[in-house]
Amino acid sequence: MSSSSTKLVGFENRLHAGAACTTGLSDFGPSAYREGLRVLLDAFEADLQLTDQGWETAYVRLLPTLEARLYTQQGWRDHPRVLNGPIDRPIVITGLPRSGTTALHKLMSVDPQFQGLESWLLEAPMIRPPRGSWEHHYRYRSSVARIDALNANIPSFRRVHETIPFEVEECTLALMQSFVSSVWSESYVVPTYAQWLSRQSDDVAYLRHADILRLIGANEMRKRWLLKSPHHMYHIEALLSVFPDACIIQTHRDPLDAIPSVCSLAYTYWRDLEGKVSWREKMGLWKCAHWKAALDRMQSVRTSSSVQGQFFDVDHRRFLADPLEVVRSIYEYFVLRLSPSVERSMKDRIMRNPTARHGKHQYNVDICGATGAQIREIFADYRRQNQFD
């Protein structure tokens, strides 16, 4: 075995030992996920050539996924009945990252007719305890401590994407558990992993995702799910295979704004993962290629007459101008009831404008290594269809 292979095996073993130590658990479930994890670690070595500091950052970033996997397996083992629970007509928000998906998700989560994936429960999946008990739960306190540490280490991150333990979060960590997901290939410039992923079935990630929902929502099986992740676009066929009656909201924003913003987010969070091979200059074109492929997959599926009624489009400009009117249109389209009390709560959230409380997210096209002309060319059809020209 080469020295590089020995190092990667040692790192993988260290990850599993660390997750087992922090959780007190040892059952990671079926071993198929290890192939994707190993390919990802190979890509860190081959494509990024991480420094020692980069590997330490990678350890911190990867550990929560394995911890969440352990908690998930424990939940299913302790409560096998939950795996028979129904998931009917979930509301799924997706679209280009930085196109208002988070703001719309959190605004709609005000409505108690929905349940979502709270941030702390994504880190430690279990049957959702009563809300009043969360502050006393050690897993909740651990999540708070982790997020506080992240904000202390990267103070500017909250301006880009704030994570609040008790609020809904996107499905990312649930999708990451299988290690067969575009979350990994989009987060880093890792052609080795991306090529491997293109040959895999992503159904495995969505089947596990669905069972994570069944676990967390076991006490409210009939309550409708409100989900969100830009990555659902890339895996839209798998999503519809597992959730065939999903009601999908696709947000749209000019890629000239969205791509530099998502590059800024990536750089803010992943800059400590910089290796001997700099990926910052490649990041913009990498993300352009990924999200162009995601949009193409979405469009291809949407041309099928069998699913056309399941999609609703939201223009980011319209959402910024009148978010509540956009919500009303969504409710009308999917035949949902918007009660007067919920509408008042939504108005209150809009007035408080929680997305701006930590300052404005400043960024420009120069940070991403892709020029405005390149972004225009790559997304020419999409920009024309949505009148962004």
Residue 211 has pLDDT above 70, yes or no: yes
pLDDT range class, residue 144, cuts 50, 70, 90:
confident
Sign of CA dihedral 100, 102, 103, 108: positive
**Could you please report the per-residue DSSP string of 47-102?**
II-B-HHHHHHHHHHHHHHHHHHHHHHHHHHH-GGGGG----S-EEEEESTTSSHH
* In contact, 196 and 179? CB cutoff 8 Å: no
Q: What is the pLDDT of residue 350?
A: 94
Average confidence (pLDDT) over 21-27:
97
Q: What is the pLDDT of residue 277?
A: 54
Please give the single-letter amino acid code of residue 26: S
Q: What is the pLDDT of residue 62?
A: 95
pTM score, two decimals? 0.91
Average confidence (pLDDT) over 20-35:
97
Q: What does the radius of gyration of the chain's CA atoms come to, in whole angstroms?
A: 20
For 35-78, write each residue's pLDDT tens digit.
999 999 999 999 988 888 889 989 998 999 999 999 999 999 99
Work out the mean pLDDT of the chain and round it to a whole number: 90
Q: What is the pLDDT of residue 280?
A: 65
Helix (H, G, I), strand (E, B) or coil at 188: coil
Residue 109 has pLDDT above 70, yes or no: yes
CA distances from 62 to 16, 49, 123, 208 (A): 10, 17, 12, 18
Q: How far does Cα 372 stand from its chain's mean position? A: 26
Q: How many residues does the chain have?
A: 389
Which of 45-49, 115-119, 148-152, 268-272: highest mean pLDDT?
Answer: 115-119
Please give the single-letter amino acid code of residue 337: R
CA distances from 79 to 66, 82, 116, 145 (A): 20, 6, 20, 28
Say how far apart CA 126 and CA 82 lie, in whole Å: 11
Single out the residue of 223, 226, 249, 224 nearest to residue 236, CA to CA. 249
Give the whole-number percent of the chain exceeding pLDDT 90.
Answer: 71
For 215-242, write each residue's pLDDT tens digit.
999 999 999 999 999 999 999 999 999 9
Instruction: List, edge to edge, every strand of the sheet that includes 247-252.
Output: 114-115, 224-228, 91-95, 247-252, 311-315
Residue 49 — left, alpha, or beta (φ > 0 → left; ψ -120 to 50 → alpha)? left
Q: What is the pLDDT of residue 157?
A: 53
For 308-365, write each residue's pLDDT tens digit.
899 999 999 999 999 999 999 999 999 999 999 999 999 999 998 766 553 454 555 5
CB-facing half-sphere around the CA of 166: CA atoms within 13 A? 11
Q: Report the greatest alpha carbon distance in the chain.
A: 66
Average confidence (pLDDT) over 187-213:
94
Say how far apart CA 68 and CA 85 lie, in whole Å: 20
The Cβ of residue 256 has, within 10 Å, a number of other Cβ atoms equal to 15
Rounded to the nearest 5°, which phi and psi values hold at 226? -120, 110
Q: What is the pLDDT of residue 361?
A: 47
CB-facing half-sphere around the CA of 45: CA atoms within 13 A? 16
Residue 307 has pLDDT above 70, yes or no: yes
Q: What is the pLDDT of residue 265?
A: 76
